Structure 1
Amino acid sequence: MRVTSDLFVSALLRRVFSSGGYGAVVRRGAFEAGAVFVTSRDRLGETTLFGPAAQASYGEGRPEDRLFAELLRGDDEAVAARLAKEQRFDPDIWVVEIEAGSEAAAELLSITKP
């Protein structure tokens, strides 16, 4: 059984804080099934946007875990424009911003390779 978006975001933020990082919910979406997008800022100021992986990334059957894919790497304006586009398509999205501590964003999320 897959956990709700609210519970997933809470657990993600707890992991970020426990590794010495910082995180915040920028936009709160649908409680149970809103798509979760994560922006990660590194120490050099570069921002990476992670979003839900394509359905083809999941195996057969129901997915047990949320998989993410790197959607964009760049400046804040490009990331904001992409998130605005996603929000127009689905107004129930979650946006979480993190600055990872001792664990990188790739270690905190289940990331698939294209």
Structure 2
Amino acid sequence: MRLKSAIWVSALVRRANGVGAFTAVRRRGAEEAGAIFVKVATLDGKAALYGPALPSLDADRDTGERMFAPLLPPGTPESAAEERMAREIRFDPDLWFVEIEDRDGRHFLELTKE
């Protein structure tokens, strides 16, 4: 059983802020099960974007944890991440959008194996 999106996002914000990153919830989505997207800005005009992993990519794990996949790799221009998120929001207005600002590019997420 998965945590509600609102609780999961709250934990991510607390975890990242607790180690010195700055985190902001830029868009609140559906409380129960909204998709979560995370942009990691490295404060040099570059960013990475992570989104929900497809269930087939998480087939070897059945833990109920939220898994993420890179949508745009680290080092992508920040404007490209913003454009991608604008498209995602038009497609799914119930999604969550979290931004982490961290010079080291830490994302604090569980990523799928590629």
Q: Which runs of 5+ in 1 are unaligned?
A: none
Q: Greater CA deviation, 75-84 or 58-67?
A: 58-67
Distance 1:109 1:61, change over 3 A: closer
Paired residue for 1:82, among 81, 84, 88?
Answer: 84
1:1-114 equivalence runs, <5 A: 1-59=1-59, 64-73=64-73, 74-100=76-102, 104-105=106-107, 108-114=108-114
The 3 A distance-change label for structure 1 pair 101 and 84 is closer
Output the TM-score relative to the length of structure 2: 0.87
Q: CA–CA distance in 1 between the matches of 2:65 and 2:40? A: 20
Q: 1:103 to 1:81 in 2, by over 3 A?
A: closer
1:32-84 Cα offsets, whole Å, 9 max, x none, are 10000000012533110000011111227965100001101312221111111
If the length of structure 1 is used for normalisation, what is the TM-score? 0.87
Tell me how far apart the structure 2 counterparts of residues 79 and 69 of structure 1 sit (CA, whole Å): 14
Flag structure 2 segments of 5+ consecutive residues without an equivalent. none
- Cα 1:40/1:48, change in 2 over 3 Å: same
> How far does residue 13 in structure 1 lie from its aligned partner after superposition?
0.4
Contact preservation (8 Å) 1:52, 1:67: yes
Corresponding letter in the other structure for 1:96 = V
Cα distance in 1 for residues equivalent to 2:113 and 2:45: 23
Please say if residues 16 and 101 of structure 1, whose CA atoms lie closer than 8 Å, have aligned partners that are also in contact: no
